[in-house]
Amino acid sequence: MLYSICLTSQIEYRTHRDMRQLEEVLAAIAHGDKEALQHLYQSTRTAVYGFALSILKNRHDAEDILQEVYIRIFHSSDSYRPEGKPMAWIFAITRNLALMRLREGRRYGELPEEAWAQIPAKDSGLSTEDRMVLDAAMQGLTDEERQIVMLHALTGMKHREIAEVMELALPTVLSKYHRAIKKMRHMLTEGL
Amino acid sequence: MRNREIEDRLRRAVAQSVPDVLEGILSGCEQKGKVIPMQTRNRKVNRWIAIASAAAAVLVLMVGGLYGWRQYSLYYAVDSIIGLDVNPGIELKVSETERILETRAINDDAVGILDNMELKGTTLDVAVNAIIGSMLKNGYLGDLSNSILVTVENQDEARGQELQQRLVNEIQGILSSNALEGSILSQTLQEDAELQALSETYGISMGKASLIQSILQQDTLHTVEDLVGLTIHELNLLSSSNGVQLSGITASGVPSDDAYIGEDRALQAALTHAGLTSEQIQLRKIKLDWDDGRAEYEVEFIAGTTKYDYDIDAFSGQVISFDHEAQHVQATPYATPAPTSTAAASQTAAPQTASPTPMTAATKAPAATQAPAASNLIGEEKAKEIALAHAGVAANSATFTKVKLDWDDGRQKYDIAFYSGMYEYELEIDAQTGAVREYDWDAIDDDDRHHVQSTPKPTATPAANSQDIGRDRAQQIALGHAGVSASQVTGLKVERDRDDGRQVYDVEFDVGRTEYSYEIDAASGNILQWEKDVDD
């Protein structure tokens, strides 16, 4: 299969070739192919994690959801209908699982809001500047702004596609995106 | 910090902090069909055991699976996708052993054709026979509509072409046995992102998308939107009537035009309406075309100093619309298309002579005698100047989208349209006196200083004649829209990209602390989207 040759490479979310290939991978996963699942994970985990993190604002929960998303994909990939939008499907799963986790959290009254700040900087190898940008996104934006910026930055998806994933109107996505970027720029120049 | 830099940093930060949970995923997948509750907090305890077992599982799958994988590929993996388009569009996914793995109806007509057919598992030739038979039976193929498009998608070009030829022969045989001379278009396609996008955007097959793309390579008068609603037979007729040479598509047989009145009767209908005979005119064009899905003959001829344009309903012979236009000595490029050399000569020689043809009362354009001498006109530049002054807009901040000399109520006028900042302006200026006859302006849709258009609006370029305006033109359009010159901007970047099946140019630049980004249609030069951000 084609996917074996690019097992660890990041996919280009906007190329149809890669989207088609992802659909082949999903078809193989539907036949129980774990190698295909591994490929899918390697090539999409950053985007899935980033999106989960942008919803949950908590890296432990995002980590759990990251794992749960691929298990869910493995068990339900046969329900995927190939329409050229495998990433939209994967993000929909991510969003649903993350929102479910949020609801559970609220029910049990847990989740310190700023759990994100606990990220061990020394382990991550993040540069100070990169970390500041991530902190700005996590702390200074509204939930929707953060999700939009994260999807845009991590996947290169067009605002139109993000609007579909987030079930929002295109102008809303556009204005929120620009407001978010502006806020982040302000935070980065003026300090958080 | 620029948007892109912020996003790059964000992407890097997430990429470096994403945890590796593969082991947990693989162990969570052990039992397919049952979701295993995650023991997330205890994962680290079993880390090495899990890694070892996961690695072992992968190894077993890889080694033990080789034989099984080949068997799987032969019988269950998709080798080719066969498209059969008439108007019903059907896609067949076929294994290497040419068994049908999956059938897909592209449109509602195809749903009817495939109704009650269980083709999965049958051989390709049986399926093709059944489908073509059903199309004949249901009247999609017949004497009035005899075109079919056969598309083979296969990554192995040679194998694809061999299959294409076999299918064409097979289908020709089926049609012949039903006493039908078919016109078969056929092609082999490989992976093509642009086509894929086109097919997804418009809900058509890859084959039809390719046919449309092939037509549009030579036919610049139509857009994708004009053609997607037509059947394969109509597209086949359109390209043959317009002399389009379809690249990459093999054509056999002649598309039947028996359903239409034919060119001779269309011309006769126009002549009768104009009160002329064929001896009095010089025929410039007659072709079959489609407008809003309706078939019509476009007839264009000249008699004396008048140009006649007719659209004749291709089924009924009724005159749908007509225009009689007087030709002038110094017709501007906007006023009329360049006439043929003979016609131009005769008009130049006697510009003021009355039309020898009787004009009907319903004629939209005035007779040639009414035409004022071109020297009486104020000229385009003056008209533009008047328009800008009337709107109170500085010349360097306006982008003209239309400057056209036209007729209205027996007088000549300039139709002028331009935009500046967030407003669009339209004016009609009397071509002789310079008086503003109509004035209208409107705000361009604005959302937080971001301009988004659901449908393309015209920009400074009139409809481009080529398929690609080029980088320089795209840059020029964007700079013109922003009202700046190349020397005033920094960080200028022009990239060709694809969006929603359309080739676009992404143009970005900075003017001081303001970032501009444009998305420009590569074919027409239309600004599809633009954004302006002030770094404050």
Closest CA to B127 of B154, B92, B160: B92
Give A76's pLDDT tier (boundaries 50, 70, 90): confident
Closest CA to B146 of B161, B136, B158: B136
Nearest Cα of chain B lies from the Cα of A102 at a distance, in angstroms, of: 16
Contact: A64, B40; criterion CB under 8 Å: yes
Nearest Cα of chain B lies from the Cα of A78 at a distance, in angstroms, of: 11
Report the residue from A16, A72, A126 with minimal CB separation from B193.
A16
Contact: B533, A50; criterion CB under 8 Å: no
Tokens of A145: 């702004």
| DSSP character at residue B5 | H
Instruction: Please indicate whether the domains covering B377-443 and B449-534 agree at the CATH topology level.
Output: yes
Q: Considering only residues 83 to 112 of chain A, which have any Cβ-Cβ distance to chain B shorter than 8 Å? A: 83-84
Could you give the 3-state DSSP secondary structure of residue B182?
A: coil
Tell me how far apart the alpha carbons of residues B311 and A95 are, in angstroms, rounded to a whole number.
54
Give A37's pLDDT tier (boundaries 50, 70, 90): very high
The CATH label, of 3.40.50.620, 3.10.450.40, 3.30.70.260, 3.40.50.300, for the domain at B263-375 is: 3.10.450.40
Instruction: Tell me what pLDDT residue B43 has.
Output: 36
On whether any CB of chain B is under 8 Å from the CB of A145, the answer is no
| DSSP character at residue B228 | H
Inter-residue contact B314 to B237 (CB < 8 Å): no
Contact: A154, B14; criterion CB under 8 Å: yes
Contact: A46, B15; criterion CB under 8 Å: yes
Instruction: Tell me what pLDDT residue B151 has.
Output: 95
β-strands B183-189, B147-153: how paired?
parallel
Which contiguous run of DSSP H or E holds residue B413? strand B411-420
In a mutational test of the B interface, the residue from A161, A174, A177 whose CB has the highest number of chain B CBs within 10 Å is: A174
- Number of Cβ pairs < 8 A linking chain A and chain B: 155
**What Rg value do the Cα atoms of chain A yield, rounded?**
17
User: At a CB cut-off of 8 Å and minimum separation 6, what does B353 contact?
Assistant: B304, B305, B368
Partners of B89 in the β-ladder: B85
Closest chain A residue by Cα to residue B57: A34
Instruction: Tell me what pLDDT residue B442 has.
Output: 64
In a mutational test of the A interface, the residue from B25, B451, B453 whose CB has the highest number of chain A CBs within 10 Å is: B25
Closest CA to B184 of B224, B219, B211, B217: B211
Closest chain A residue by Cα to residue B42: A64
On whether any CB of chain B is under 8 Å from the CB of A75, the answer is yes
Closest CA to A123 of B11, B19, B46: B19
User: Residue B29: its chain A contacts at CB < 8 A?
Assistant: 34, 37, 70-71, 74-75
Nearest Cα of chain A lies from the Cα of B453 at a distance, in angstroms, of: 10
Residue type, B118: E
Report the residue from A20, A70, A188 with minimal CB separation from B1.
A188
On whether any CB of chain B is under 8 Å from the CB of A41, the answer is yes
Instruction: Tell me what pLDDT residue A192 has.
Output: 55
What's the pLDDT tens digit per position in B274-322?
A: 889 988 898 888 989 888 778 899 999 988 888 888 999 998 888 888 8
User: At a CB cut-off of 8 Å and minimum separation 6, what does B507 contact?
Assistant: B474, B475, B477, B478, B492, B493, B494, B495, B516, B517, B518, B520
Nearest Cα of chain B lies from the Cα of A32 at a distance, in angstroms, of: 8
Instruction: Tell me what pLDDT residue A126 has.
Output: 75
Tell me how far apart the alpha carbons of residues B6 and B75 are, in angstroms, rounded to a whole number.
49
Nearest Cα of chain A lies from the Cα of B198 at a distance, in angstroms, of: 11
Report the residue from A17, A70, A133 with minimal CB separation from B13.
A133
Q: What are phi and psi of B105, to 5 degrees?
A: -90, 125
Report the residue from A119, A129, A174 with minimal CB separation from B450.
A174
B377-443 CATH fold = Nuclear Transport Factor 2; Chain: A, (3.10.450)
Nearest Cα of chain B lies from the Cα of A55 at a distance, in angstroms, of: 14
User: Residue B91: its chain A contacts at CB < 8 A?
Assistant: none
Average pLDDT, integer, range A136-146 = 89
Tokens of B508: 């970005």
User: Residue A182: its chain B contacts at CB < 8 A?
Assistant: 533
Length of chain B measured in residues: 536
Domains by residue range for chain A, with CATH: 1-118 (1.10.1740.10), 120-192 (1.10.10.10)
Contact: A182, B17; criterion CB under 8 Å: no
Closest CA to A189 of B536, B171, B369: B536
Nearest Cα of chain A lies from the Cα of B170 at a distance, in angstroms, of: 30
Where along chain B do its domains lie? 3-74, 80-252, 263-375, 377-443, 449-534
Instruction: Tell me what pLDDT residue B525 has.
Output: 86
Could you give the 3-state DSSP secondary structure of residue B510?
A: strand
Instruction: Tell me what pLDDT residue A71 has.
Output: 94
Cα-Cα end-to-end distance for chain A: 48
Report the residue from A20, A124, A179 with minimal CB separation from B17.
A124
What's the pLDDT tens digit per position in B74-132?
A: 666 788 999 999 988 999 998 888 888 888 888 888 888 887 777 887 888 888 988 99
Nearest Cα of chain A lies from the Cα of B212 at a distance, in angstroms, of: 19
Residue type, B437: R
pLDDT-above-70 percentage for chain A: 79
Residue B34, burial from CB neighbour count under 10 angstroms (0-12, 13-18, 19+): exposed
Contact: A154, B26; criterion CB under 8 Å: no
Contact: B13, A131; criterion CB under 8 Å: yes
Exposed e or buried b per residue across B221-236, where buried means at least 16 C-beta atoms within 10 angstroms of its C-beta: ebebebbbebbbbbbb
Tell me how far apart the alpha carbons of residues B152 and B80 are, in angstroms, rounded to a whole number.
7
CATH number for the domain whose boundaries are B449-534: 3.10.450.40
> How many CB atoms lie under 10 A from the CB of residue A91?
26
Tell me how far apart the alpha carbons of residues B522 and B531 are, in angstroms, rounded to a whole number.
18
> How many CB atoms lie under 10 A from the CB of residue A3?
21
Strands (E), B421-534: 423-430, 436-443, 446-447, 450-457, 490-499, 502-511, 514-521, 527-534
User: At a CB cut-off of 8 Å and minimum separation 6, what does A122 contact?
Assistant: none
On whether any CB of chain B is under 8 Å from the CB of A30, the answer is no
Nearest Cα of chain A lies from the Cα of B503 at a distance, in angstroms, of: 13
- Judge whether residue A7 has pLDDT over 50: no
Q: Which residues of chain B have pLDDT under 70?
A: 1, 31-76, 327-375, 409, 422, 442-466, 498-501, 533-536
Place of tokens 């329900």: A79
